[in-house]
Amino acid sequence: MLLGMDDAQQADLRLALKDVAHVVRSKTSADQIAAEYKSLNPGAAIVSVHSDTPALFGIIHNISAAGGIVIVVSETKDPELILRSMRAGAREFVLESDHEELRLAVRTHAKSTVGAGELGQVVTIFGSKGGVGATAIATNLAGAMQRRNLRVCLVDLDLYLGDVLAFLDIPGSYSITDVLANMNRLDRDLLASSVTKHRSGINVLAQSSKVEEAEQIKGPDVAALLEFLRRNYDFVIVDGVRGFDEISLAALDGSQHVFMTLTQDVPAVRNGQRCLELFGRLQYDQGRVKLLLNRYVKASKITIEVVGETLGQPLTHTISNDFLLLIDAINRGVLLTEVAPRARITQDIEGLIPHLLPERAPRMRRQSLLGTLFGKKVVDGTT
Ligand SMILES: Nc1ncnc2c1ncn2[C@@H]1O[C@H](COP(=O)(O)OP(=O)(O)OP(=O)(O)O)[C@@H](O)[C@H]1O
Ligand SMILES: [Mg+2]
């Protein structure tokens, strides 16, 4: 929510924040602002202050005292203004012209506006072939969401050879089988205290090393698990979905968003074509499957336009190629947001988040994907 700005300033900040937040402008008079803030309940207020706007410090104080988050922007880093803003309860003071810093402040401080009681979004990162970077994207997307104070659970559905625990360098204490067995008893707090946690705060669910347990998990279990998790998290990020076996189909069917991930090489694009064809035959909604070009290199002979033409739709999401940074993070079990928050690759991954916020989510299709393929119904209560 933007406060204390003229039209030009507002337009400028709106543009700066377009990939980071949904921006609204306060329309009321100064004395009504605290009440409006309460009723709109935005993730944060961005207040523009000058030395001749003393009333705004009172507003900052009122919003902060009511539990709101205030980020102050100003033309100059005047020590007096900084001091007054901080005294009034502002979390951050940013130069108006420093859009990068403002985006970072919003990402760091703004609260998620995904309301309690709403269902979270299941996002599957689906590689068009092996090795395209699905796990790297899934783990770091989860990290970026966590950093924005979104409640996120990262699920590794590769029940035998999953990589997520290794990428995050954590032991898998509580497994998918454990959650399935206790789903009826677990409330949000109990679940959060049971699942494995990365130090960034991401909750992680993977399979234990017991092969016989993995063998017991079937499509309907996966469907039930994802439904359960979306009642408890803002986002459920799913990795380890390969091809179109029963488990994969249940995961795809239970996802509101599928990022089909490709790279600029013939096998990945060719497989991508086949996957899209299958998604089409299975009557996916327009909008659920998004194409994601990973390791994007502009100079590649297989250009982004060629990939888009081959697949019959333009590619709007790209992630830069940065092998050295990424492999170092993977080998150390750390997230890109922790070690290189400003790197291009990190920002590209963070840039996916606004496309996943609920208002942009496609409507759930009533018909089940599994049902379409196998002529049977998924036990998830929605079919
Ligand atoms: N954007 C990127 N830039 C540079 N290297 C990348 C990028 N994304 C992934 N990689 C590298 O590609 C390799 C494979 O990544 P990752 O394991 O995430 O792929 P995957 O699709 O999960 O593979 P698998 O099919 O084995 O599950 C890793 O070495 C990783 O560092
Ligand atoms: Mg993987």
CB within 8 A of 178, min separation 6: which ones? 194, 208
Which residue's CA is the nearest one to ligand 1's atom 12?
133
Predicted confidence band at 368 (pLDDT cuts at 50, 70, 90)?
Answer: very low
Say how many Å lie between the CA of residue 240 and the centre of ligand 2.
6
Look at residue 47 in the predicted model and tell me its pLDDT.
Answer: 93
Say how many Å lie between the CA of residue 138 and the centre of ligand 2.
9
Look at residue 114 in the predicted model and tell me its pLDDT.
Answer: 53
Does 132 have pLDDT greater than 90?
yes
Which residue's CA is the nearest one to ligand 1's atom 5?
323
Q: Which helix (H) or strand (E) holds 124?
A: strand 121-127
Ligand 1 site, CB within 6 A: 127, 130-136, 163, 294-295, 319, 321-323, 326-327, 330, 345
Tokens of 288: 């659920």
Look at residue 255 in the predicted model and tell me its pLDDT.
Answer: 94
Which residue's CA is the nearest one to ligand 1's atom 9?
133
Give the mean pLDDT of the chain.
86
Say how many Å lie between the CA of residue 269 and the centre of ligand 2.
18
Tokens of 132: 């395209």
Residue 37, Ramachandran bin (φ over 0: left; ψ between -120 and 50: alpha; else beta):
alpha
Look at residue 379 in the predicted model and tell me its pLDDT.
Answer: 34
Q: Are 4 and 53 in contact (CB under 8 A)?
A: yes
Look at residue 377 in the predicted model and tell me its pLDDT.
Answer: 37
| Phi, psi values for residue 93, rounded to 5° | -125, 120
Does 136 have pLDDT greater than 80?
yes
Say how many Å lie between the CA of residue 111 and the centre of ligand 2.
30
Say how many Å lie between the CA of residue 133 and the centre of ligand 1.
3
Q: Identify the bridge partners of residue 197 per DSSP, sorted by sequence position.
A: 203
Predicted confidence band at 55 (pLDDT cuts at 50, 70, 90)?
Answer: confident
Dist CA 382 CA 375 (whole Å): 16
The yes or no reply on domain 121-374 and CATH 3.40.50.1820 is no
205-226 per-position pLDDT tens digit: 998 878 888 889 999 999 999 9
Does 382 have pLDDT greater than 70?
no
Look at residue 23 in the predicted model and tell me its pLDDT.
Answer: 80
Atom nearest to 137 CA in ligand 1: 18
Look at residue 113 in the predicted model and tell me its pLDDT.
Answer: 59
Q: Pick from 188-192, 243-247, 376-380 the range whose average pLDDT is largest.
A: 243-247
Q: What average pLDDT does the segment 163-171 reach?
A: 93
Predicted confidence band at 149 (pLDDT cuts at 50, 70, 90)?
Answer: confident
Range list of H helices, the chain: 7-16, 33-40, 55-65, 79-88, 99-109, 134-147, 164-168, 176-182, 188-194, 211-216, 219-230, 246-253, 266-281, 304-311, 323-332, 336-339, 344-350, 369-374
Atom nearest to 129 CA in ligand 1: 25
Say how many Å lie between the CA of residue 299 and the centre of ligand 2.
26
Look at residue 381 in the predicted model and tell me its pLDDT.
Answer: 33
Q: What average pLDDT does the segment 165-181 reach?
A: 90
Residue 295, Ramachandran bin (φ over 0: left; ψ between -120 and 50: alpha; else beta):
left
Pocket test of ligand 1: the residue of 295, 331, 334, 350 to mutate, having most ligand atoms within 8 Å of its CB, is: 295
Does 361 have pLDDT greater than 80?
no
Say how many Å lie between the CA of residue 159 and the centre of ligand 2.
12
Atom nearest to 321 CA in ligand 1: 3
Say how many Å lie between the CA of residue 252 and the centre of ligand 1.
21
Does 42 have pLDDT greater than 70?
yes
Look at residue 91 in the predicted model and tell me its pLDDT.
Answer: 92
| Closest ligand to Cα 295 | 1
Atom nearest to 163 CA in ligand 1: 27
| Phi, psi values for residue 3, rounded to 5° | -135, 145
Identify the burial level of 231 via C-beta atoms within 10 angstroms of its C-beta, where 0-12 means exposed, 13-18 middle and 19 or more buried: middle
**Cβ atoms within 10 Å, residue 12:** 15
Q: Report CA-CA distances (Å) from 258 to 122, 129, 198, 205, 327.
A: 8, 14, 24, 19, 24
Q: Are 171 and 380 in contact (CB under 8 A)?
A: no
Which residues of the chain form CATH 3.40.50.300?
121-374
Bigger pLDDT: 361 vs 75: 75
**Crossing angle (nearest 10°) for helices 219-230 and 246-253:** 30
Sign of torsion over alpha carbons 309, 310, 315, 321: negative
Look at residue 358 in the predicted model and tell me its pLDDT.
Answer: 65
15-39 per-position pLDDT tens digit: 898 777 778 777 667 677 777 777 6
Atom nearest to 127 CA in ligand 1: 21
Pocket test of ligand 1: the residue of 167, 260, 323, 346 to mutate, having most ligand atoms within 8 Å of its CB, is: 323
Bigger pLDDT: 168 vs 43: 168
Predicted confidence band at 117 (pLDDT cuts at 50, 70, 90)?
Answer: low
Bigger pLDDT: 287 vs 30: 287
Look at residue 186 in the predicted model and tell me its pLDDT.
Answer: 81
Atom nearest to 240 CA in ligand 1: 27
What secondary structure does DSSP assign to 74-104, as a single string?
Answer: ESS--HHHHHHHHHHT-SEEEETT-HHHHHH
Which letter does DSSP use for residue 18 in this model?
Answer: T
Write b or e for each residue in 173-185: b if 16 or more Cβ atoms lie within 10 A of its Cβ, otherwise e. Answer: ebbbbbbbeeeee
Q: Which CATH superfamily is domain 2-109 in?
A: Response regulator (3.40.50.2300)
Pocket test of ligand 1: the residue of 125, 135, 165, 352 to mutate, having most ligand atoms within 8 Å of its CB, is: 135
Does 294 have pLDDT greater than 50?
yes
Q: What average pLDDT does the segment 125-132 reach?
A: 97
Atom nearest to 327 CA in ligand 1: 31
Which residue's CA is the nearest one to ligand 1's atom 4?
323
Q: Are 222 and 251 in contact (CB under 8 A)?
A: yes
Which residues of the chain form CATH 3.40.50.2300?
2-109
Does 336 have pLDDT greater than 60?
yes
Say how many Å lie between the CA of residue 322 and the centre of ligand 1.
10
Say how many Å lie between the CA of residue 301 and the centre of ligand 2.
26
